[in-house]
Amino acid sequence: MENLEKLLDFNKLYVVGVSGGCDSMALLDIMQKRGYRMVVCHVNYHLRNDSDLDQKTVEDYCKMHNIACFVKEIDSKEYSKENFQMQARELRYQFYREIASKYNTNEVVLAHHLDDVIENIVMQLQRNNTKGYLGIKDVSDVFGIVVIRPFLEVRKQVLRNYCHDHNVFYRDDYTNFETDFTRDFVRNVTLKKYSEKQIEELLIQAKCHNERYLKNLELVQVYIHQYHQKEMIDYHLIPDNLLECFIYEIIKENVYPPLISDSLIKEIIKQINSDKPNIEMDLPVNIRFIKEYNNIRVSKSKNSSGYCLKYEQLVYDKHEHFYLSKKGHLNEGVFLTDEDFPIMIRSYKPGDVIVTSGGTKKISRLYIDNKVPKSQRENWPIVVNSNNEIILVPHLAKNIRYLYSKPNLYVVKL
């Protein structure tokens, strides 16, 4: 338990997550006896008939030692059983963040231990989810808060013995001994078949993997920084041996890591290396991976319904996808007369064409010839006059009849 003093600072105040079980009650008692400043959070999911006794155990300890205690009650029946553990995790961390913000801190201490690490490794291997860190980090960022776990080298039985030796009352959650959820099955069935030697070998394997992963993570930071500057990057800049790590890290910013399988990463790499210039792949939780020629990025999925704005006269204003200005580049501008009004500025429609000096051209062909990323095409502004002629596609083409007059309207794409 010497990790406690390595990771915690007596001058800081911490939010401590306490369930009432032996591991978190041991953490609470040790921090209290060593004089750390803290407030306690307990989440009551009402999963069992005796869940309120867990809450009372935590509240009684905090009251006895004059520690501020906050409780969040959640009706588990409102959530699907299939996804409950993930939903519960999000609600729990949201609660931690709320209380941390109230106390002007950003650090939460949790009692995850070595048994949890072992369970995580086995689950990751079973899910074929090995591109990231195997196990649990002692310090990590979760939903924008710093989570500190000082017991990752301590077995659960040691924490249970601590509670017995120091008369710390705790509650056993009998659902931990059931097999309804994946983690419970791993704990109570899969790991029962492992010998101590096999567990030791598993931890050595994970340590070697993590050393390689952390080395690659350090090397890939320069490319992640470049990516964040423009929210995209030319994938040719990234060395082949770091591309998987890079893809994993940018997806992990939006997707819960257990959902990022090795097969998903391999499929993305396959698509990047394909001859297709534009690719969109749906990822978990409404995220898309997008390849636009040489550039790759991850974005939230959008359901675009297009737009169409009508202007009765010359005006200069701003829209979500463009703004109208008196100044701009020549290829953004058009000269309008009274006969042109009302004009429409709208998004692309299948079959759109424009008459240029080189003849009639499909707008879809313009996009391809100019390598316009597929994700930008759906919102690219198109200017249509009162005769329903397309007269301007900013940057890409201008109607031949409007080529030689000085523009009085510039349509600047955002």
Phi and psi at residue 128, to the nearest 5°: 55, 50
Strand-pairing partners, residue 72, are 43
Q: Give the Cα separation of 386 and 380 in Å (integer).
A: 20
Tell whether 308 is in a known binding site.
Answer: no
Pick from 133, 88, 139, 135: which is nearest to 109 by CA? 139
Helix (H, G, I), strand (E, B) or coil at 396: coil
In degrees, rounded to 5, the angle at the alpha carbon of residue 60 between the alpha carbons of residues 56 and 66 is: 140
Q: Which residue has the tokens 């997550």?
A: 17
Tell whether 21 is in a known binding site.
Answer: yes
Tell whether 405 is in a known binding site.
Answer: no
Q: In this structure, what DSSP letter does residue 173 have?
A: -
- For 361, the enclosing helix (H) or strand (E) is strand 359-362
Pick from 261, 293, 260: which is nearest to 274 by CA? 293
246 in Cβ contact with 238 (< 8 Å): yes
Q: Give the Cα separation of 61 and 129 in Å (integer).
A: 39
103 in Cβ contact with 15 (< 8 Å): yes
Look at phi and psi of residue 145 and say left if phi exceeds 0, alpha if psi is from -120 to 50, else beta: beta
Tell whether 19 is in a known binding site.
Answer: yes
Q: Give the Cα separation of 309 and 382 in Å (integer).
A: 10
411 in Cβ contact with 330 (< 8 Å): no
Q: CA quadruple 150, 151, 152, 153: dihedral positive or negative?
A: positive
- Burial class from Cβ neighbours inside 10 Å (0-12, 13-18, 19+) for residue 61 reads buried
Q: In this structure, what DSSP letter does residue 341 have?
A: P
User: What type of residue is 385?
Assistant: N
Q: Which residue has the tokens 């879809």?
A: 364
Tell whether 195 is in a known binding site.
Answer: no
Tell whether 358 is in a known binding site.
Answer: no
SS3 content of the chain, % helix, strand, coil (to 5): 45, 20, 35
Look at phi and psi of residue 193 and say left if phi exceeds 0, alpha if psi is from -120 to 50, else beta: alpha
The binding site for ATP comprises 19-24
The binding site comprises 19-24
